[in-house]
């Protein structure tokens, strides 16, 4: 069983906030895959369904962001799950809007929801960070994360959510790099395998080597040419 936890704040007041992109992602997966209606349990809204042939629990903690771990931890203990059975989806200030990163473990990066998950669930769970961009100065961070997505943001937010929902079964199969490629392409980026790799330049031949081993110039025709070709091959051509 896998728990997919979308992080955010409860209530209509926060529904469109950048900080609630985890809730938005959970809702997109819920709609696309015919999960059960949302119900209340574990201090959260939960919904059961199946992805990739495995049972999945979607969870949206209703404890407010800073206490997200209380809800998710309670669900994990109830189902006797390990950190490896958890995927958390949340906003990331330090990624440009629309960029996504998925990794196991790591620091909380100052994110209070992740700090709470770390405390209640352990740290070795998978973290799907969805970029919302940084406002540029620390003083504007709270206003930025608790502000609603702008209309212009829909150009990347909608395809990102649709692609994540379409390919949510990859989370179950742990096809993390493939999922990241699909999300990158959805917002106009490049898949990892499509990024140009620097071509390896042939090693420069030492001028000393060149001086010590000059290539012989072979006569073009005649008996001498035939003899030298037998000795040196076709190196001069």
Q: Is 14 annotated as a binding residue?
A: yes
Q: How far apart are CA 174 and CA 37, in angstroms?
A: 26
Q: What was the pLDDT predicted at 189?
A: 72
Beta bridge partners, 86, equal: 3
Residues in Cβ contact with 91 at an 8 Å cutoff, skipping those fewer than 6 apart: 7, 18, 19, 20, 21, 22, 111, 129, 130, 131, 132, 145
Q: What was the pLDDT predicted at 228?
A: 55
pLDDT beneath 50, residues of the chain: 194-218, 235-237
Q: Is 108 annotated as a binding residue?
A: no
Q: How far apart are CA 24 and CA 35, in angstroms?
A: 15
Look at strands 100-104 and 86-92 and give their pairing: unpaired
Q: Which domains does the chain have, with CATH numbers?
A: 2-192 (3.40.50.1470), 202-237 (no CATH)
Q: How far apart are CA 149 and CA 133, in angstroms?
A: 11
Q: Is 79 annotated as a binding residue?
A: no
Which active-site residues does the annotation give? Answer: 19
pTM flag (> 0.85): no
Q: Is 112 annotated as a binding residue?
A: yes
């Amino acid at each position: 069983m896998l728990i997919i936890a979308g992080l955010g704040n409860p209530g209509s007041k926060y529904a469109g906030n950048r900080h609630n992109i985890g809730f938005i992602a959970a809702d997109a997966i819920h709609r696309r895959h015919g999960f059960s209606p949302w119900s209340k349990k574990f201090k959260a809204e939960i919904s059961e369904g199946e992805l990739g042939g495995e049972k999945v629990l979607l969870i949206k903690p209703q404890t407010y962001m800073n206490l997200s771990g209380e809800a998710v931890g309670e669900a994990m203990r109830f189902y006797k799950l390990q950190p490896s059975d958890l995927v958390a989806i949340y906003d990331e200030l330090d990624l440009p809007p629309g960029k996504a990163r998925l990794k196991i473990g790591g620091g909380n990066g100052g994110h209070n929801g992740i700090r709470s998950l770390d405390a209640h669930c352990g740290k070795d769970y998978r973290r799907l960070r969805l970029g919302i961009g940084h406002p540029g100065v620390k003083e504007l961070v709270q206003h930025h994360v608790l502000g609603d997505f702008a209309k212009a943001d829909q150009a990347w937010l909608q395809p990102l959510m649709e692609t994540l929902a379409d390919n949510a079964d990859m989370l179950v199969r742990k096809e993390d790099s493939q999922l990241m490629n699909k999300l990158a392409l959805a917002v106009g980026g490049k898949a990892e395998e499509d990024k140009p790799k620097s071509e390896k330049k042939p090693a420069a031949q030492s001028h000393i080597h060149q001086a010590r081993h000059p290539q012989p110039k072979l006569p073009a025709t005649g008996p001498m040419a035939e003899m030298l070709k037998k000795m040196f091959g076709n190196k001069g051509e």
